[in-house]
Amino acid sequence: MRVLSSLVVGESGVLVALDLPPGVQNHLMYMGFVPDARVRVLHKAPAGDPTVYSVDGIEIALRHETSRAIWVAAKSITKEDLLDVPEPAEPAEELTEAAL
Amino acid sequence: MSECCEPVAFVPPVRQPGAKTAGELHTIALIGPPNSGKSTLFNRLTGLRQKVANYPGVTVEQRMGRMSGVGRDDLVLIDLPGIYSLDPYSEDARVSIDVLEGHMPGTPKPDAVLLVLDSLHLTRQLMLAAPVLALGLPTMVLLNMSDLMDARGGAIDPLKLARELGAPVALVSATKGTGIESVQMFLNRNDSKLDTPPLMLPVLGNAMSTHRWAAQVSTRTGYRAPLSAKMTRRVDAVLLHPILGPLLFLVVVFAVFQVVFSVGLPVSNGLQDILAHFGKWATGFLPAGWIRSLVLDGGWNGVTSVLVFLPQILLLFLFIGILEDTGYLARAALIADRVMRSIGLNGKAFIPLLSAYACAVPAIMATRTIENKRDRLATILVTPFMTCSARLPVYLLFIAAFVPNVAFVGGLISLKTLVMLGLYTIGFLAALVTARVLKSSILKSSETPFILELPQYRMPTLRSLGLRLYDRGGVFMKQAGTVILCVTLGLWVLANVPVHAGHPPELGESVIGRLGHFIEPAIAPLGFNWKIGIGLLTSVMAREVMVGTMGTLYGADPETQSLSLQTALHHDLPLGGAIALMVFFAFALQCTSTIAVVRRETNSWKWPAVQFVYMLALAYGAAFVTNLVVTALWG
């Protein structure tokens, strides 16, 4: 078992337990951070923290001190993983146009 | 910009208490998780234009509107802030729960609920369905963004879901308007089934079991989640890149300011000429004498000197609108978290601060999404330092009049742009430093975790951007036609009394001149003349009134009457005073609407008073130093 903050970008794991104050923990669980959920590391902020995680199809950013209180188990590759291959970075022009 | 943030004026109908049968539903609440499209649906169902954007937490208070196009005119729809569960985590969620339970003064308890869920992430969104259905109110479940779900290969059986939930379910798209007719059918149906007993769910209050239930329901109803849009991840790979991300942001911000000057300023100057000629021509039909002077030199000059800045203001709002509608704002909060943390706040506080570049009033309301009370207060207190759009006319006028046309790097960067960026920067730094001081002294608190949902990027629609500009333009014009018109007409009168033997006095001998000279000693150290002093007094109402005041006072002065406002200022004010004035505006709290909203949100006069005095002292001190330095260097 590892803490979520130890996962690198592109890695995923299955959530085992949360060890946070009750209010925060409840809030996170309603956002989808429940045991057995598959969590994946998508990006890190330019400064290295917070990190963006994908859970239940949505993206949630957490700071290191929150993600290190979330326990995950390494996970074997499933069909879902194969459908969701990480994308390589694309050239800048096309993307910024789409965003702005 | 006082009018920008008034709630939709609406008085709910008075009703007799007691149970209602079907067909007697009057108040319907829109409930749903953040960013599920409640406000878009609200606008669709009421024909109103409540603010919508692509980030969680746009709506922070209840809004009511009469539903139109449902065949009845007695239905009131309440739009509410998004919630993840019925346990409130922040102030805005508290609002939703209070309204839902009938504890919100002035808002009737809803008779029925429209539960809006984002069909792209239905499993998690269903977690809210259990507690909401258990309230026992007649409820209809609307699966929003169903067009996107279809397009991305998702699927669900709405009939099966309706059976599972014991409530009608419809697939809708609030942006496209599809499926909306089902809401009408729900509200007008007239059978006794409406009084279905509350759903007995064994899962309430426990997130874990609620999630398990939601997952089972979505499996049983054949829910297939759509493929996640890869575009968002690709875009984020660039925008959250350690070097490219911040760099691109700076380039875009810089380009916007440059466009404000290179395109906006010539347009403004052209507009100024046209309006001035039109004013002269039109007032030619009035009899010569005091009436013509009142209309032309008083009202027209004052109002148009502000109105000419409309193009630049719209340009700024277009930029902010694009940031909000694409979904970038949430990323900005993520990037800024590191800096915000060093001052004791968290990245979420950055969203209100950024939207304060438009107007501080909605920004202060938006602080309701900040969970920690002390963090929220600190953010409220520093928000007015952010350069709101009402400062823009003042900056543009004085920069155009005083900053020479010098360009660097082959004409790409002009000195005017740099001065403007400098003014935006000192405002932002003042906010950061003040927040740091507050958070390390009277508002110290333990750190709150940063938890932020990032929406998928969306292409802003021309319609939504156009409506924003139209609404903002309307607010600006209305302000010019009311507050600024009244102030300038009043100033003209004060500049023309007391009348001696049928002749108006010299400007310096008029009531306004005497008042100006009376306060001049207080502002002379800043390099300001008495006319600026009058402007400082009137601009306490709203900052852009300063420009209207200058237009009227210089228009009423025979010596400067024939000159354009820029030229008149250039001749009448030393450079040190002009730069000091802009610095003064960067820091001072000259806005009655902001003071009112701070009083309302903090529930006391203490904080707005502290804020006003602190910002005034800072503005005075900084303007004093600026005047000394600029005069010593270039004076």
Q: What is the pLDDT of residue B424?
A: 94
Question: What are the DSSP E strand ranges found in B328-428?
Answer: 407-408, 413-414
| Residue closest to B544 by CA, chosen among B615, B607, B475, B601 | B475
Q: What residues in chain B have per-residue pLDDT under 70? A: 1-25, 189-205
User: Which of A28-32, A77-81, B287-291: highest mean pLDDT?
Assistant: A28-32
Task: For chain B, positions 235-254, list CB contacts with chain A under 8 A.
Answer: 235-246, 248, 252
Residues of B in contact with A63 (CB under 8 A): 337, 449-450
Residues of A in contact with B211 (CB under 8 A): 29, 32, 34, 37
Report DSSP state, residue B447: P
Partner residue facing B450 (CB), from A32, A62, A84: A62
Chain A: give the shortest CA distance to residue B240, in Å.
6
Q: Do residues B561 and B555 make contact, with C-beta atoms less than 8 angstroms apart?
A: yes
CATH architecture, range A2-78: Roll (2.30)
The Cα–Cα gap between B544 and B389 comes to 9
Q: Do residues B548 and B483 make contact, with C-beta atoms less than 8 angstroms apart?
A: no
H/E segment holding residue B491:
helix B485-495
Partner residue facing A27 (CB), from B234, B245, B451: B451
Assign B437 to helix, strand or coil: helix
Residues of B in contact with A32 (CB under 8 A): 124, 211
Q: In Å, how far from its chain's centre is CA B347?
A: 18
Report residue B616 as tokens: 């005034």
Q: Do residues B593 and B361 make contact, with C-beta atoms less than 8 angstroms apart?
A: yes
Residues of A in contact with B325 (CB under 8 A): none
pLDDT tens digits along B385-396: 999 999 999 999
Q: What is the pLDDT of residue B4?
A: 44
Q: Do residues B396 and B585 make contact, with C-beta atoms less than 8 angstroms apart?
A: no
Chain-chain contact of A96 with B239 (C-beta, under 8 angstroms)? yes
Query: Does the beta carbon of B347 lie under 8 angstroms from any beta carbon of chain A?
Result: yes
Count the neighbouring beta carbons within 10 Å of the beta carbon of residue B289.
8
The Cα–Cα gap between B72 and B66 comes to 10
The Cα–Cα gap between B173 and B468 comes to 21
The Cα–Cα gap between B298 and B394 comes to 19
- Does residue B521 have a cis peptide bond before it, meaning omega lies within 30 degrees of 0? no
Task: For chain B, positions 102-131, list CB contacts with chain A under 8 A.
Answer: 120-121, 123-124, 127-128
**A59-70 CB burial, b ≥16 within 10 A, e <16:** bbbbbbebbebb
Please report which confidence band the pLDDT of residue A76 belongs to, taking 50, 70 and 90 as the band edges: low
Report residue B176 as tokens: 């496209």
Chain B: give the shortest CA distance to residue A59, in Å.
5
Please report which confidence band the pLDDT of residue A95 belongs to, taking 50, 70 and 90 as the band edges: very low
User: Which domains does chain B show, CATH number per domain?
Assistant: 2-228 (3.40.50.300)
Residue of B nearest to A83 (CA): B227
Q: What is the pLDDT of residue B204?
A: 59
CA distances from B25 to B154, B157, B345 (A): 34, 28, 44
When scoring B216, B240, B372 by the number of chain A Cβ atoms within 10 A, the one with the most, hence best to mutate, is B240
Task: For chain A, positions 2-61, list CB contacts with chain B under 8 A.
Answer: 20, 23-24, 26-32, 34-35, 37, 42-50, 52, 54, 56-61
Chain-chain contact of B453 with A59 (C-beta, under 8 angstroms)? yes
Phi, psi of B28 (to 5 degrees): -120, 130
Partner residue facing B246 (CB), from A29, A46, A84: A46
Residue of A nearest to B230 (CA): A87
When scoring B89, B96, B97, B459 by the number of chain A Cβ atoms within 10 A, the one with the most, hence best to mutate, is B89
- Does residue A50 have a cis peptide bond before it, meaning omega lies within 30 degrees of 0? yes
Report DSSP state, residue B407: E
Angle at CA of residue B175, ends A55 and B188, nearest 5°: 105
The Cα–Cα gap between B299 and B358 comes to 26
Query: pTM for this one?
Result: 0.84
pLDDT tens digits along B546-560: 999 999 998 888 888
In chain A, what are the domain boundaries?
Answer: 2-78
The Cα–Cα gap between B506 and B516 comes to 13
Q: Do residues B137 and B143 make contact, with C-beta atoms less than 8 angstroms apart?
A: no
Residues of B in contact with A65 (CB under 8 A): 447, 449
Residue labelled with tokens 């575009």? B231
Q: What is the pLDDT of residue A89?
A: 39
Q: What is the pLDDT of residue B254?
A: 83
Chain A: give the shortest CA distance to residue B235, in Å.
5
Residues of B in contact with A48 (CB under 8 A): 242
